[in-house]
Amino acid sequence: MYYYIEGNLTHKDMNIAVIDCGGVGYKLIISYTTYMRLPNLNTKAKLFTHLVVKEDALDLLGFYDLSEKSAFLMLTSVSGVGVKVAMNVLSALTPERFAFAVASGDYRELAIAQGVSTKTGQKIVLELKEKISKDNLIKKDSGDDAMPQDTGGAVLGVSSKNDALITLITLGYTRAEANGALKDIDFSQPLEDIVKIALRNLVKK
């Protein structure tokens, strides 16, 4: 229904943001991660949206960027994971941390979110890892876009690039998009910083 809402931010708290767009105040349910990235009140803000249709209500969700929205859609595709649990995960973890937790099988990282048990964390990892095709992660031929192989640390940054590539693919980007976004990045940085830079590169395209 709506792809994004852009306008004057008139209210914000840990769960809700209100954006005035053309004289209409849109109430958006947000994660704590989005809340922390919102600008000051009475300044311009833009949130990507997703409409949740219930029997008795229509809830409009707001996400600071498309990577968070993609993570939300992946979470809610898991059987038994609803809107509330998905938003709790995204309140506890950035999209980058969420994606890497799934890619690395770290269900304990997911279980730090409110309402997410160890069993639920394991289920999220199991179902989402199965959705990531091996063909999307590893290119069989040896071109520039091939996924670098881990050589036990012999090549500086290879492991970090592998991890960043898998993280971006977990967030819904293609292997080609991920490889392009990772070009010319210093892989000696922490993984989360590498992924953030790559996401900025993807937004610019």
Q: What structural domains does the chain harbor? A: 4-63 (2.40.50.140), 67-130 (1.10.150.20), 134-204 (no CATH)
113-123 mean pLDDT? 95
pLDDT recorded at residue 158: 63
Task: Summarize pLDDT for 141-157 with one digit per residue, the tens.
Answer: 334 444 444 434 434 45
φ/ψ bin of 154: left (φ > 0), alpha (ψ from -120 to 50), beta (otherwise):
alpha
How far apart, in whole angstroms, are the C-alpha atoms of residue 92 and residue 124?
15
pLDDT of 24 higher than 90: yes
CA distance 26 to 114: 27
Long-range contacts of 66-70 (CB under 8 A, 24+ apart): 66/203, 67/95, 67/96, 67/171, 67/199, 68/31, 68/33, 68/34, 68/95, 70/95, 70/171, 70/172
| Nearest residue to 100 via CA among 2, 203, 195, 201 | 195
Q: Would you state the pLDDT for residue 182?
A: 93
Helix (H) or strand (E) holding 170: helix 158-170
pLDDT digits (tens, 9 = 90+) for 75-91: 999 999 999 999 999 99
Q: Give the model's confidence band at 3: pLDDT under 50 very low, under 70 low, under 90 confident, else very high.
A: very high
- pLDDT reported for residue 135: 42
Instruction: Give the DSSP H/E element, type plus range, for residue 158.
Output: helix 158-170
